[in-house]
Amino acid sequence: MNLRVRFLRRLPRSFLRGWVLDRLFPLSVEAFGRPAPKTGGMKPEEKLRAFALYTAQEAERGLAEGDLAAERIRDRLFQGTRELGKELGRRLGIRGPQAAVELCGDLYAWLGIDAECQGEDGIVIGGCYFDRFYSAEVCRVMSAMDAGIAAGLAGGGMLRFSERRTEGAACCRARFIQEDEGP
């Protein structure tokens, strides 16, 4: 990993959590088209809980409106986080899918997700802060954010989940696939 990422990893996790959430909240508001709770003055842990509750509620609302609404939300989540991933990739000098997957692991950790990189393109999630808030359907909608960040960091491709904790699996498993792009 390059020097910028090494430096970033030395910053306090609570600072990084707040920094990431300050970027994810506006992207979520844009995707859902609904206002988010006020988070000014919240500690990063409180902000994480507010983000989980907001995204779960709004994804459920989108799912209740039907498949087309849920697909539009997934697409907007993907597009917004892909742009964020591109920005992070440029600023941090991320090159290639393996570096992108490794940084995704860091981002997950900052958000309370216990992720382990496996090989050049795999991620296994053993524990996830969000699975106590998300149903299986909400998790599928919200994973568009994961896919978008990974695609942006790597300059294309897709993060595809094959197993999910919210669907009863012991862990989540995902692979980064170069050819495909989209939520």
**Bridge-based pairing state of the strands 122-128 and 113-118:** antiparallel
Query: Can you give the pLDDT at residue 30?
Result: 95
Q: What's the mean pLDDT when you consider all of the chain?
A: 90
* Residue 181 binned pLDDT confidence (cut-offs 50, 70, 90): very low
Distance CA 70, CA 140 (A): 10
Query: Can you give the pLDDT at residue 103?
Result: 85
Pick the more confident residue, 3 or 21: 21
Say which residue the tokens 């954010």 belong to: 145
Domains of the chain from N-terminus onward: 3-177 (3.30.1380.20)
Q: The pTM is what?
A: 0.90
Within 10 angstroms of residue 38's Cβ, the number of other Cβ atoms is: 8
Q: Which of 52-56, 72-76, 115-119 is predicted with the least confidence, judged by mean pLDDT?
A: 115-119
